[in-house]
């Protein structure tokens, strides 16, 4: 019960606590100033006398975990009418350990969001994309330079006509995607070598304007040599409703055709076709006649027609 | 599924405290990254009655009670559980996306969601599916008292009883925890919202004036207290007079608010008392020795600790940063998933 005796505190203060700023010390001083004894405090805070004594003596081994001690300090400070924040800061500093640390050590291992893993994944993805692009079209690297040189011309001219796979339009779509690396700056640099890569006859493009009255060349056995302008001609022997669109959507033939009409399809093949009266339509691809009836179901035909594929299939 | 896994590498594990009033998100290794009201504003389109989300969180809360006819600001959570499934999903989606803002890849994190211990299987499943629908690749559920205890820094792994009281927006949860498990838990559907409602009712009864939810909440924050204090604080409030139909202003004081909130406060106290009765004696003595820890937004109500201490005769301690305890606790639990038995995760 020497705790209640102020002189006992003073003695201990002189001997042990040279810096008078510890949390317990401040609480005790404040309590003594207000003339409250430990029992009273213990009763008001609903703690045991021992706990209060341990608090005042900064003896944290006898006290429960941090959350409780800070709570006790808060309510004690409120009881005494002093600001709890500096006391708590004091207590935390005295604890040495970071205040946030709970009873359990938190082990952080193999974080899935590890930076190196992410980086590796991104690199891998890039490599795979490039590899696939090259597999798809082994001469892509050649096309790169060609395409860069021709970037000033209109997009359809980007297909070097001497390349086999450029006959059908899908690879071009692929190509334009791969020509991302900013071509506009390149041409000036590469200008001198332009003649070697660009072919001098851009007129024989597979997508000319519609009404070219070219005599139909026979489907050449080796398409690589020159792209075949496989003309698709539709002749109507009776009234027929049609809806024909090319891949770009720019060309379309739409509406009711009447007997004797003849249309040459332009635009970008393949075409998606809907014919309302299939028996009244004759389609000629190049020189071959396309069997419309095989596509028709109850006299209505819905199908896609790629003239190049069709001719290739015939050969 | 495999793709979700890859996307997961670009996402942070999240712990979500999907509360009635506020949703908090704790990102692993980052701390609390989001704290927004659980409010969604929805516009009903004129053509075809399609519904679109106008605002979520803080922006939507500002609209609460102030919307034109075709917009409704709603709180998709009620009493701690999902009241509107699709809206909750949208809200979660928005929040998850928001904490991954800078990323190009759509996030697919592992998500831990805290659920009230009183929620039913159906409600838990709804929360789980909602989180999965919002893009989570794995969803874990943990009961709120457990998360609150971990977040408050209680020694949950020790063979000693710790009691935690989490007063949220819609529910209050009492739990006694020992050895990583919940020994007893009880959920009362009383929370911050209930306090607001009782303030609204009190003002209507005694002043014949109707005040909105937002005003009631402001009154509670400013002058509300759970225990009669020495000083009386006052506040001027504006509401619509029911007799005249005109907006009028009047003054409320803290004693009136205390009186108004008496009923819900007593509900919480009795939940704590019942919990203490039901707790096995050994654990009960541990609680009596160290005290009850209060977390959740309700812990910010002035003198709530004194009220509970007075009523139970036990020491009561307010957790640090009580609002974020549950989310932080969930985050710590996520950290332990890899290297500990998952005994504190609740099954669906």
d(CA B91, CA A83): 40
Min distance B236 CA to chain A CA atoms (Å): 28
Task: Report the pLDDT value the prediction gives residue B226, as an integer from 0 to 100.
Answer: 94
Q: Which residue has the tokens 């590899």?
A: A131
Average pLDDT over residues A68-85: 89
* The predicted structure's pLDDT at residue B318: 93
Q: What is the per-residue pLDDT for B203?
A: 95
pLDDT of residue A4 exceeding 60, the answer is no
Q: What is the pLDDT of residues A181-199, one digit of tens each?
A: 444 444 444 444 444 444 4
Whether this model's pTM surpasses 0.80? no
Closest CA to B146 of B329, B21, B322: B329
Cross-chain CB nearest to B338 (options A45, A109, A113): A109
- How many beta-carbon pairs under 8 angstroms link A with B? 90
Give the tens place of pLDDT for each residue, A27-74: 888 899 999 899 999 998 888 899 999 988 888 888 888 889 989 998
- B-chain CB neighbours of A118 within 8 Å are 9-10
- SS3 string of chain B? CHHHHHHHHCCCCEEEEECCCEEEEEECCCEEEEEEECCEEEEECCCCCCEEEEEECHHHHHHCCCCCCCEEEECCEECCEECCHHHHHHHHHHHHHHHCCCCCCCCCCEEEEEECCCCCHHHHHHHHHHHHHCCCCEEEEEEHHHHHHHHHCCCCCCCCCEEEEEECCCCEEEEEEECCEEEEEEEECCCHHHHHHHHHHHHHHHHCEECCHHHHHHHHHHHCECCCCCCCCEEEEEEEECCCCCEEEEEEEHHHHHHHCHHHHHHHHHHHHHHHHHCCHHHHHHHHHHCEEEECHHHHCECHHHHHHHHHCCCEEECCCHHHHHHHHHHHHHHHHCCCCCCCEECC
CB-nearest to A112 from B8, B152, B154 is B8
| Residues of chain A contacting residue B309, judged by C-beta atoms under 8 Å apart | 46
**DSSP-assigned beta bridge partners for residue B330:** none
The whole-angstrom separation of Cα B81 and Cα B173 is: 13
Q: Put the strands of the sheet holding A296-297 in their side by side order.
A: A252-257, A240-245, A271-275, A300-305, A296-297
Is there a contact between A71 and B315 if contact means CB atoms under 8 Å apart? Answer: yes
A121 near B CB under 8 A = yes
| pLDDT score of A13 more than 50 | no
Residues belonging to chain B with any Cβ–Cβ distance to chain A shorter than 8 Å: 6, 8-13, 28-29, 110, 150, 152-158, 289-291, 293, 305, 309, 313-320, 332, 335-336, 338-339
The predicted model gives A66-83 an average pLDDT of 89
Tell me if chain B has a CB within 8 Å of the CB of A110.
Answer: yes
Q: How far apart are the first and last CA of chain A?
A: 113
Which among B6, B7, B9, B286 is the top mutation candidate for probing chain A, defined by the most A β-carbons within 10 Å of its own β-carbon?
A: B9
Average pLDDT for A22-31: 88
Token readout for A258 is 């009447």
CA angle, B295 then B301 then B302, to 5°: 120
**Contact check, Cβ <8 Å, B155/A71:** no
pLDDT at B271: 94
Does residue A214 have a pLDDT over 60? no
Contact B315 A110 (CB under 8 A): no
Instruction: Return d(Cα B325, Cα A303) in angstroms, integer.
Output: 64
Q: Do A112 and B309 touch (CB under 8 A)?
A: no
Rg of the Cα atoms in chain A: 44
Closest chain B residue to A112 measured between Cα atoms?
B9
Q: Are residues A45 and B154, on separate chains, in Cβ contact within 8 Å?
A: no
Flag if B9 and A74 touch (Cβ within 8 Å).
no
| SS3 (DSSP) at A276 | coil
Alpha-carbon gap, residue A38 to A194, rounded angstroms = 97
Rounded mean pLDDT of A80-99? Answer: 79
- Whether B13 and A112 lie within 8 Å, measured CB to CB: yes
Per-residue pLDDT tens digits of chain B, which is 348 residues long: 556 566 555 667 889 998 888 899 998 878 889 999 999 999 988 777 788 899 999 999 888 888 888 898 888 988 777 888 889 888 988 998 888 866 666 677 889 999 888 788 888 888 898 888 888 888 999 989 999 999 999 998 889 999 999 999 888 999 999 998 899 999 898 999 999 999 999 999 999 999 998 899 999 999 999 999 888 999 999 999 999 999 999 999 999 999 999 999 999 999 999 999 999 999 999 999 999 999 999 999 999 999 999 999 999 999 989 999 999 999 888 888 766 555 667 655
Residues counted in chain B: 348
- Chain A residues with CB under 8 Å of B158 CB are 103
Q: Which residue of A has its CA nearest to B309?
A: A46
Query: Phi and psi dihedrals of B344, rounded to 5?
Result: -95, 0
Q: Give A-chain residues touching B293 at CB under 8 angstroms.
A: 67-68, 71
Q: Is A46 on the interface with B (CB under 8 A)?
A: yes
| A282 alpha carbon, distance to own chain's centre | 48
Q: Is residue A53 a contact partner of residue A41, using CB atoms and an 8 Å limit?
A: no
- List pLDDT tens digits, range A230-286: 788 888 888 888 888 888 777 777 888 888 888 888 777 788 888 888 888 888 888
How far CA A255 is from CA of A239, A242, A252, A276, in Å, comes to 10, 6, 10, 10
**Chain B nearest-CA residue for A109:** B338
- pLDDT for res A262: 85
Q: Do A70 and B317 touch (CB under 8 A)?
A: yes
Buried b (16+ CB within 10 A) or exposed e, A137-176: beebeebbebbbbbbeeeeeebbbbebebbbbbebbebbe
Question: Residue A179's pLDDT is what?
Answer: 43
> How near does any CA of chain B get to the CA of A24, in Å?
18
**Order of strands, sheet of B292-295, starting from the edge strand that comes earlier in the sequence:** B181-188, B172-178, B162-167, B292-295, B316-318
Which tokens belong to B222?
């400013």
Q: Are the beta carbons of A103 and B28 separated by less than 8 Å?
A: no
For residue B28, which residues of chain A lie inside 8 Å, CB to CB? 111, 113
Question: Which residues from chain A sit within 8 angstroms of residue B13, using beta carbons?
Answer: 112-113
Strand partners, B249: B238
The alpha carbon of residue A232 is apart from the nearest alpha carbon of chain B, in Å, by 44
**Is the CB of residue A108 less than 8 Å away from at least one CB of chain B?**
yes
């Amino acid at each position: 019960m020497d705790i209640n005796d102020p002189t006992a505190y003073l003695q201990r203060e002189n001997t042990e606590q040279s810096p008078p700023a510890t949390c317990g010390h401040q609480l005790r001083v404040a309590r003594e100033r207000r003339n409250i004894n430990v029992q009273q405090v213990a009763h008001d805070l609903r703690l045991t006398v021992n706990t209060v004594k341990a608090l005042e003596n900064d003896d944290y081994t006898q006290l429960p975990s941090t959350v409780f001690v800070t709570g006790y300090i808060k309510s004690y400070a409120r009881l005494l009418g002093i600001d709890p924040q500096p006391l708590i800061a004091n207590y935390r500093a005295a604890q040495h350990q970071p205040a946030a640390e709970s009873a359990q050590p938190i082990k952080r291992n193999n974080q899935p969001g590890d930076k190196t893993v992410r980086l590796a994944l991104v690199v891998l993805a890039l490599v795979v994309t490039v590899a696939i692009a090259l597999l798809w079209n082994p001469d892509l690297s050649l096309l790169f330079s060609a395409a860069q040189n021709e970037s000033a011309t209109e997009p359809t001219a980007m297909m070097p006509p001497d390349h086999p796979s450029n006959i059908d339009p899908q690879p071009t779509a692929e190509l334009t995607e791969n020509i991302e690396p900013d071509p506009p700056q390149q041409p000036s640099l590469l200008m001198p070598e332009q003649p070697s890569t660009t072919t001098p006859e851009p007129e024989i493009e597979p997508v000319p304007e519609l009404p070219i009255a070219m005599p139909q060349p026979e489907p050449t056995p080796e398409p690589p040599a020159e792209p075949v302008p496989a003309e698709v001609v539709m002749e109507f022997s009776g009234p027929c409703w049609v809806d024909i669109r090319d891949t770009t959507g720019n060309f379309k033939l739409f509406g009711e055709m009447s007997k004797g009409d003849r249309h040459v399809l332009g635009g970008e093949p393949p075409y998606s076709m809907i014919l309302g009266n299939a028996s009244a339509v004759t389609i000629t691809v190049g020189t071959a006649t396309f069997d419309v009836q095989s596509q028709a179901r109850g006299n209505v035909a819905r199908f896609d027609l790629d003239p190049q594929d069709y001719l290739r299939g015939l050969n | 599924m495999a793709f979700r896994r890859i996307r997961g590498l670009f996402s942070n594990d999240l712990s979500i405290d999907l509360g009635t009033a506020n949703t908090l998100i704790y990102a692993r290794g980052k701390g609390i990254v989001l704290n927004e009201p659980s409010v969604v504003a929805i516009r009903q389109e004129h053509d075809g009655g399609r519904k679109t989300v106008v605002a979520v969180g803080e922006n939507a809360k500002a609209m609460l009670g102030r919307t034109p006819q075709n917009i409704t600001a709603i709180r998709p959570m009620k009493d701690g559980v999902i009241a509107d499934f699709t809206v909750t999903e949208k809200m979660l989606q928005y929040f998850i996306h928001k904490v991954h803002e800078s990323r190009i890849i759509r996030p697919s994190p592992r998500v831990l969601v805290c659920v009230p211990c009183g929620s039913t299987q159906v409600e838990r499943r709804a929360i789980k599916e909602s989180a999965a629908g919002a893009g989570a690749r794995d969803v874990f559920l943990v009961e709120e008292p457990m998360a609150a205890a971990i977040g408050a820094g209680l020694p949950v792994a020790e063979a000693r009883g710790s009691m935690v009281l989490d007063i949220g927006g819609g529910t209050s949860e009492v739990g006694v925890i020992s050895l990583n498990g919940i020994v007893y838990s009880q959920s009362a559907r009383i929370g911050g919202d209930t306090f607001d409602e009782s303030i609204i009712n009190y003002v209507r009864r005694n002043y014949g004036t109707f005040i909105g939810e937002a005003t009631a909440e402001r009154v509670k924050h400013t002058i509300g207290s759970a225990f009669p204090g020495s000083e009386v604080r006052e506040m001027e409030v504006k509401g619509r007079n029911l007799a005249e139909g005109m907006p009028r202003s009047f003054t409320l004081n803290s004693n009136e608010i205390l009186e108004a909130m008496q009923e819900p406060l007593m509900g919480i106290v009795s939940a704590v008392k019942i919990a203490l009765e039901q707790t096995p004696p050994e654990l009960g003595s541990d609680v009596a020795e160290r005290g009850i820890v209060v977390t959740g937004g309700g812990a910010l109500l002035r003198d709530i600790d004194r009220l509970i201490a007075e009523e139970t005769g036990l020491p009561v301690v307010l957790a640090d940063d009580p609002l974020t305890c549950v989310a932080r606790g969930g985050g710590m639990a996520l950290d332990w998933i890899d290297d500990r038995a998952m005994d504190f995760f609740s099954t669906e």
